[in-house]
Structure 1
Amino acid sequence: MILLRMKENVESYLGHKASDAVISVSATFNRTQIQASIIAGLNVLAVIKEPCAAGITYGRRKRHSQCVHSRYWGYNGVASWSRPLLVNHFLGEFNRKYKKDMSTNLRALSRLRTACERAKCELTVATRAAIEIDSLFEGHDFYSSITRAWFEELNNDLFRNAMDPVKKCIHDAGIDKASVDEVVLAGGSTRIKKIRELLCEYFKKKKELNNTINPNEAMAYGAAIWATILSGGITKDHNIALVDVLPNSLGVKTALSYDLN
């Protein structure tokens, strides 16, 4: 449904039918998930992983670069886990205030999740965000707020753990962090101020974070470039070599049930 709606939006913007597409998917998608993502009545030219798409975007912006190393650092997990923590925080506040348990009311929880997502986004640019929901549960209005400092404290362990993939990326690449030319941000969660502070702290502020690419558009932009190349469109980027991501380890299982990794 999502791809079909996106197809309709593209056709409305372009003013003509869209038949071919390049789709970018999460680096952790398995084959079944990838196959499900391409059932939308489109001729799929390629399915590329999001880190590769972001790497293409960066490579095109930095035309002097000869090679772009893209590693999946997993900040999507920050978005996935910080929102439930925020929801649980306000759920507990509502329960204490009204002595009502709304944890089993799906409609109320959905409205609270939407409000928490909006507040999380607001905290990327503001120091305080408000939660205002009329008639949230059994006629009770819910009004509250959260500061950026408290949001960061609430998610402190999560943010710290999010740096583990960064360290693993440097280790697996066999390089020193001083060898990293630039740190490119991709994905909405990299807008969180604490994430940016932790990255600067890890690289000891020797590397400025690359803000020239919109984190929300990096993957889509790279997929569009690759689609242009595959469709024979006019581009100067034909020398791009795309090496896809393998997010899972490989192993061999013998008839004797020994795992060789």
Structure 2
Amino acid sequence: MAAIGVHFGYTCACVAIFKDGRAEVVANDAGDRVTPAVVAYRDTEQIVGIAAKHGRVRNAANTVVKVKQVLGRSFKDPEVQKHKAESKCPLINKGEQPFYEMTGETSRHVAPQDIARLILHKMKETAQSALGAVVTEAVITVPFEFAHAQKVALREAAEAAGFRVLRLIHEPAAALLAYGIGQDCPSGKSHVLVYKLGGTSLSVTVLQVNGGMFRVLNTHTDHSIGGESFTAALAQHLAAEFKRSFKQDVSGNARAMLKLMNGADMAKHSLSTLGSANCFVDSLHDGMDFDCNVSRARFELLCSSLFNKSVQPIKILLEMTGLTTSDINQVVLCGGSARIPRLQQMIKDLFADSVTVEACASDILLREVDESGAVVFSVLLPSGTPLPARRHHILSGPGHLPSLCLELYHKSTQQPERLAKVQLLHLITHYKES
């Protein structure tokens, strides 16, 4: 059985298989291609995914979200302290390591690696259900800025989930591999920008692709903005609408706002494909139900400042790298929030001045004569090679040649057609006497 690819994000996880020459993200048991990276603990069971996310309203103290933020970090790490302040599930210090404290009939302490193991095991089950066979080997993506300790912790969690980890690869490189970028052209340099807007962070990376090899030129990550920022803006709008309709302010009610966040999140997803979305919350406050319709135009207006903040890192990174938008050959969008139409349009407008890169429409051939006198054609520039291009080709022949004539052809449907004839005079030849 071939290996699978696993993406373990801050808010969601997904698994992909290679099918019919392309990477295909498979659906889970709920029919969704992404699974919330949420784990809820109850007295006798652990719940992973969408059910855990929806049950967070009633079981917030025993529900873990964004475990990737603390995975492989010490308790004193600033990111862990930030997570501790935001988490509804208590985080404690145990041997200078962060542990979640679960309450119930019996209290217990759970390590972040155990939370990650449950999520990764869910991914393993999803892949096995899709393939109808046991899956053990996996390639797992990691952020470019992941430290060694974080990579070790993720690998250990995956192994505990039953995977044999073949490799950890950086997320930008995984995005290029998923779309086959750089794999079909063996020569010629190009630049690709990978834009990833996930649930809690935005990362922009510029890579140079050359002969199937990827080189990261520069990367920028902003943890102050993510998909949840757009959800929160919409939830605040819904709270204001509820106050206007019912004269009740729920902005300070944690449970009510969590309900609105869930409703806003579903509405946000719908607005990526529809012009309007209905948000209904059952018993939002004092038994009152809330029903509100939000148009895509209203959503875009509410989040206008967030959209501007989301595209600004592209300009900053290109300036840091010494490139312009016209130097970027392709842009790859990743992350659930990159599906927002307004954001996609702003990125398109940013690269509107990008020129089409000149490339060989067909193979460029050099006509030669072999030792037997037969005509042969050597490929100098394969089809698709970005131009201008430089190639080295060794010619052989008898010594003391006063001149040389080179004929360049291109491959057509019938037979090679001549493009140019180059006459080289006053050659300096090098030869060995036998």
Deviations 1:118-173 (Å, cap 9, x if unpaired)?
11111112221111122222210100111111111111111111112211232233
String of CA shifts for 1:222-255, please: whole Å, max 9, x gaps.
Answer: xxxxxxxxxxxxxxxxxxxxxxxxxxxxxxxxxx
Residue 170 of structure 1: aligned partner: 318
2-structure distance, mates of 1:68, 1:10:
34
Distance (Å, rounded) in 1 between the aligned partners of 2:191 and 2:302: 33
TM-score (norm 2): 0.44
Equivalent residue runs for 1:146-185 within 5 Å: 146-185=294-333
Q: Conserved in 2, the CA contact under 8 Å of 1:183 and 1:207?
A: no
Report the Cα offset of residue 116 of structure 1: 0.8
The corresponding residue for 2:228 is 80
Residues 160 and 65 of structure 1: is their aligned pair in 2 closer, same or farther, counting only changes over 3 Å?
A: farther
CA distance in 2, matches of 1:35, 1:143: 46
Alignment match, 2:271? 123
Query: Is the contact between residue 59 and residue 68 of structure 1 (CA under 8 Å) also seen in structure 2?
Result: no
Determine which structure has the larger helix proportion and give its number.
1
Look up the SS of the partner of 1:126 in the other structure. coil
Out of 170, 175, 179, the residue aligned to residue 54 of structure 1 is 175
Pairwise CA distance, 1:92: 2.4
Aligned twin of 1:259: none
User: Which protein has the bigger strand share?
Assistant: 2
Identity rate, percent: 32
Structure 1 residue 62, shift from structure 2 partner: 6.4
Secondary structure of residue in 2 paired with 1:162:
helix
Determine which structure has greater relative contact order: mean sequence separation of CA pairs < 8 Å that are 6+ residues apart, divided by chain length: 1
Distance 2:144 2:153 in 1: 15
SS at structure 2 position matched to 1:129: strand
> Rg bigger for which structure?
2
- Alpha-carbon deviation of 1:107? 4.1
- Which deviates more from structure 2 when the two are superposed, residues 172-181 or residues 78-87? 172-181
Alpha-carbon distance between aligned partners in 2 of 1:129 and 1:143, rounded to the nearest angstrom: 11
Report the CA distance between 1:192 and its aligned residue: 0.9
Q: Which residue identity does 1:49 align to in structure 2?
A: H
| The 10-residue stretch of structure 1 (165-174 or 54-63) with the greater mean CA deviation from structure 2 | 54-63
1:35 Cα deviation (Å)? 3.6
Which residue of 2 is the match for residue 17 of structure 1? 134
Distance 1:178 1:68, change over 3 A: closer
1:196 is the counterpart of 2:344: yes
1:96 pairs with 2:244? yes
Distance 2:241 2:297 in 1: 18
In structure 1, what is the Cα distance between the partners aligned to 2:233 and 2:303? 7
Q: Alpha-carbon deviation of 1:195?
A: 0.9
Q: Deviations over 1:3-62 (max 9, x none)?
A: 110111112222332222111133444444434433032221221221110122233586
Correspondence for 1:44: 165
Return the offset for 1:103.
4.1
CA distance 1:60–1:72, shift in 2 (3 Å):
closer
Sort the Cα spacing of 1:128 and 1:65 in 2 relative to 1 into closer, same or farther, 3 A. Answer: farther
Q: TM-score, normalised by structure 1?
A: 0.69
Q: Check whether the contact 2:231–2:265 (CA below 8 A) recurs between aligned residues.
A: yes
| Corresponding residue SS for 1:163 | helix
Aligned equivalent of 1:216: none
Structure 2 counterpart of 1:150, which letter?
A: R
- Residue 104 of structure 1 and its aligned partner are, at CA, apart by 5.2
What is the match of residue 79 of structure 2?
Answer: none
Whichever residue aligns with residue 19 of structure 1, its letter is: T
Q: Is the 8 A contact 1:59 1:65 kept in 2?
A: no
Q: Unpaired segments of 5 or more residues in structure 2? A: 1-117, 199-224, 357-434
Please tell me whether the aligned partners of residues 55 and 69 of structure 1 are also in contact (alpha carbons under 8 angstroms): no
- Contact 1:119–1:131 at 8 Å: present in 2 too? yes
Given candidates 90, 103, 111, the residue that maps to 2:259 is: 111
Residues 150 and 28 (structure 1 numbering): CA distance in 2 closer, same or farther, change over 3 Å? farther
Of stretches 71-80 and 114-123 in structure 1, the one that deviates more from structure 2 is: 71-80
Separation in 2, partners of 1:68, 1:59: 14
Q: How many angstroms does 1:174 deviate by? A: 2.2
Gaps of 5+ in 1: 209-261
SS in 2 for 1:134: strand
